[in-house]
A and B are shown apart, each in its own frame.
Chain A
Amino acid sequence: MNAVTLPLTAPNRASGESLWHKAARKFGRDRLGMLALGVVLAYFLVALGAWLGWWAGGWADLTGTKWEPVSSAHWFGTNIIGQDIFDRAVFSTATAFEVGLSVALAATFIGAVFGAFAGFFVGSWIDEFLLWCMGVLDAIPFYLFVAAVAYALTDNPWAMQVAMIATFWVGTGRLIRGEVIKLRGMEYVEAAHSIGVSELAIIFRHILPNTGHILLVQASITFVSAIKAEVILSFLGLGIKDGMSWGLMIDESTKEVLAGFYNNFLAASLLMFGLVMAFNAVADALQDALDPRKVG
């Protein structure tokens, strides 16, 4: 026995439809979860505004002089070349969502598909091959892997995201694989088999939708991991190529904090902390709401 025990068990299949209903109701009653969701939505609005150019469009402009203190013109002061730190911090929110969403969606999608294939064809060469891929990716230390991908794809602005997706899907893949192994034995799957539904259709129409609760929680966890990883990768010089992010701001600030200029550091780290904290809380609340054993 060497399969790792998986923490999530199958949801109540009989009430597959109402599971989401109940979860939504339960989530709605989770006051902390709702508060956190509100915070995340607020961040998202900020990001949306930055995308649409409503605000923070001046993040790259030299609107002041070096290291101006907090003022009505520059709410968080200015950085070393006279850019507005508030604008940059706000613009970084959009970057955080870009990185978080792209990585979370792609990694979850890949994890779901590969996990489902491995689980559905458990024991076959497909499963063996996918398990081998997961093992290989697990065995390479994360930061070294990202660094290597970043260098291999020097020109590609998505190098960081590609590296994160390539590693983050594995966790989701393993979970889904375990879940699908359970689901493929269920009667309705066997029934679908017996009436000649194709395997692909079974996987995508009958099995994967029933792993939605795992995918949602995994996606939210991946989102947070991606934002946090971005900060460290940007510090190591492997992060965002064009644009602005909290990681880049913190990197800027490492030299400034000991000179007594904390604006960059505080703006970026507090904003990031707020989003990550809220998202962690949302992920927790989701997990609670979707945990079938707890559905009342």
Chain B
Amino acid sequence: MAGDAGRPVLKVRDLTVEFATEDGVIRAVDSVSFDVLPNETLGLVGESGCGKTVTGLAMLRLIPMPPGRIASGSIELDGRDLVPLPNRDLEDLRGRDISMIFQEPMTALNPVFTIGNQMTDVLCRHRDLTRRQARPVAAELLAKVGIPEPADRLEDYPHQLSGGMRQRVMIAMALSCNPKLLIADEPTTALDVTTQAQVLEQFRVLQAEFRMAVVLVTHDLGVVAETCQRALVMYCGSIVESGTTADLFSRPRHPYTAGLLASIPRLRSERLAELPVIPGRVPDLLNLPAGCRFADRCPRVQERCRAERPVLTGRDSGVACHFPL
């Protein structure tokens, strides 16, 4: 299931997102550039707070504004820049060309409307259907994501479903208009392990069927290894390394990536306590160091790292490090 070569579905260039807080302006995403190719699954990995979720939200311009704003950069979907797009056009696009599913299935659905109601809302919005026509379509979609007795489920309210079921409903909604690109923000984090596996499997099947590109935002390297062809590693708002999943996992070049990989528990490792941990803490986003942002935690830090900020060496496959592994 290798990504088809060709024009990227999504081209992100120099994307910078800032948040105005009480204490000053925070740059949550700092000059991020990447491409998403048709049909591929791109992983966006990093610790929480590294800016990966904000990047995902920025793809749909869902960042709450204010306090957030896209300070610069472009997000081109099929050659059309979303950043300057008027809200109305953007609304037409959301859910149709580009969809998103969220981490928390418990709260992401509106508790006072039925599943069917919420699904038909989306269907009627983007496909030329009446409410009556939309219902069987919605049921069909639910069946596709593996929900039994879909017609009955349409009458249910979200609180009547389990977490896994709800996430499937979200997926069904996201797929309902056959989007070119799907942003999945930690879609399985809130689920238990068994459900997680089921949902991911479903995900893969559906991706093949719907032939869409997926950006999978996650902190879970295991999920990336299983699902993604390529991955971007983010740290403090910037991409520190990019490459194919295989390359990243076998030959990490950024010390941070290496650290992340080392901290994954493997079946072989005897005791959890012996797992290596990246020392130190993520720097305060308000007072970022001038040089490499990983410098304080890096075992290989040198004088240059503190003075000069490294740049990513290549877009599809590169590393932002003066002294890569």
Chain A residues with CB under 8 Å of chain B are 26, 29, 294-296
Q: Which residues of A contact B22 (CB under 8 A)?
A: 26, 29, 294-296
Interface presence of B23 (CB below 8 A): yes
Report the nearest B residue to A288, measured CB to CB.
B22
Q: List 7 A-B contacts (CB under 8 A).
A: A26-B22, A29-B22, A294-B22, A295-B22, A296-B21, A296-B22, A296-B23
Q: Which residues of B contact A296 (CB under 8 A)?
A: 21-23
Chain B residues with CB under 8 Å of chain A are 21-23
Q: Which residues of A contact B23 (CB under 8 A)?
A: 296
Report the nearest B residue to A30, measured CB to CB.
B22
Q: Which residues of B contact A26 (CB under 8 A)?
A: 22
Majority secondary structure of chain B interface residues (helix, strand, loop or mixed)? loop
Majority secondary structure of chain A interface residues (helix, strand, loop or mixed)? loop
Report the nearest B residue to A26, measured CB to CB.
B22
Report the nearest B residue to A22, measured CB to CB.
B22
Report the nearest A residue to B23, measured CB to CB.
A296
Q: Which residues of A contact B21 (CB under 8 A)?
A: 296
The 6 closest A-B pairs by CB, nearest first: A296-B22, A296-B21, A296-B23, A26-B22, A29-B22, A294-B22
Q: Which residues of B contact A29 (CB under 8 A)?
A: 22
Q: How far is the CA of A284 from the CA of B60 in the complex (A)?
A: 34
Q: Which residues of B contact A295 (CB under 8 A)?
A: 22
- Within the complex, the shortest CB–CB distance from B67 to chain A, in Å, comes to 10
User: Which of A26, A295, A296 is the most central at the interface, judged by chain B CB atoms within 10 Å of its CB?
Assistant: A296
Q: Which residues of B contact A294 (CB under 8 A)?
A: 22
Report the nearest B residue to A296, measured CB to CB.
B22
Q: How far is the CA of A294 from the CA of B23 in the complex (A)?
A: 12
Q: How far is the CA of A274 from the CA of B288 in the complex (A)?
A: 45
Q: How far is the CA of A295 from the CA of B21 in the complex (A)?
A: 9
Q: How far is the CA of A26 from the CA of B24 in the complex (A)?
A: 12
- Within the complex, the shortest CB–CB distance from A33 to chain B, in Å, comes to 13
- Within the complex, the shortest CB–CB distance from A23 to chain B, in Å, comes to 11
Q: How far is the CA of A26 from the CA of B22 in the complex (A)?
A: 7
Report the nearest A residue to B286, measured CB to CB.
A296
- Within the complex, the shortest CB–CB distance from B25 to chain A, in Å, comes to 12
Report the nearest B residue to A295, measured CB to CB.
B22
Q: How far is the CA of A66 from the CA of B21 in the complex (A)?
A: 58
Q: How far is the CA of A61 from the CA of B2 in the complex (A)?
A: 96
Q: How far is the CA of A294 from the CA of B21 in the complex (A)?
A: 9
- Within the complex, the shortest CB–CB distance from A284 to chain B, in Å, comes to 16
Q: How far is the CA of A229 from the CA of B21 in the complex (A)?
A: 38
Report the nearest B residue to A29, measured CB to CB.
B22
- Within the complex, the shortest CB–CB distance from A283 to chain B, in Å, comes to 19
Report the nearest A residue to B22, measured CB to CB.
A296
Q: How far is the CA of A26 from the CA of B21 in the complex (A)?
A: 11
Q: How far is the CA of A151 from the CA of B22 in the complex (A)?
A: 51
- Within the complex, the shortest CB–CB distance from A289 to chain B, in Å, comes to 9
Report the nearest A residue to B24, measured CB to CB.
A296
- Within the complex, the shortest CB–CB distance from B172 to chain A, in Å, comes to 30
Report the nearest A residue to B21, measured CB to CB.
A296
- Within the complex, the shortest CB–CB distance from A110 to chain B, in Å, comes to 34
Q: How far is the CA of A294 from the CA of B22 in the complex (A)?
A: 9
Q: How far is the CA of A74 from the CA of B220 in the complex (A)?
A: 78
Q: How far is the CA of A196 from the CA of B23 in the complex (A)?
A: 42
Q: How far is the CA of A208 from the CA of B21 in the complex (A)?
A: 30
Q: How far is the CA of A295 from the CA of B22 in the complex (A)?
A: 8
Q: How far is the CA of A60 from the CA of B22 in the complex (A)?
A: 50
